[in-house]
């Protein structure tokens, strides 16, 4: 079985899983962990779109 994902789907999956682990290992309470995981995920997604646009504009 082979999985074929787009760049976007693979990067989102990576961001999701990594954010959960970063939330668990860096904060002390559950509330802080959830907030930090969401924050990390949003940062990943922001970087994904930002770098995506930079590459798009850089290749025009």
Instruction: Give the residues lining the site for another protein (CB under 8 A).
Output: 1-5, 7, 10, 13-14, 17-18, 20-22, 24-25, 28
The nearer residue to another protein, 4 or 31, going by C-beta atoms, is: 4
The nearer residue to another protein, 5 or 43, going by C-beta atoms, is: 5
* CB proximity list for 27: less than 8 A, separation 6 or greater: 33, 35, 36
* CB proximity list for 45: less than 8 A, separation 6 or greater: 12, 15
The nearer residue to another protein, 21 or 54, going by C-beta atoms, is: 21
Residue 27 DSSP symbol: -
């Amino acid at each position: 079985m082979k999985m074929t994902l787009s760049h976007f789907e693979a990067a989102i999956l990576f961001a999701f899983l990594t954010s959960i682990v970063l939330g668990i290992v860096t904060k002390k309470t559950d509330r802080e962990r959830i907030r930090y995981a969401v924050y990390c995920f949003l940062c990943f997604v922001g970087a994904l779109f930002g770098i995506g646009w930079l590459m798009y504009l850089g290749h025009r």
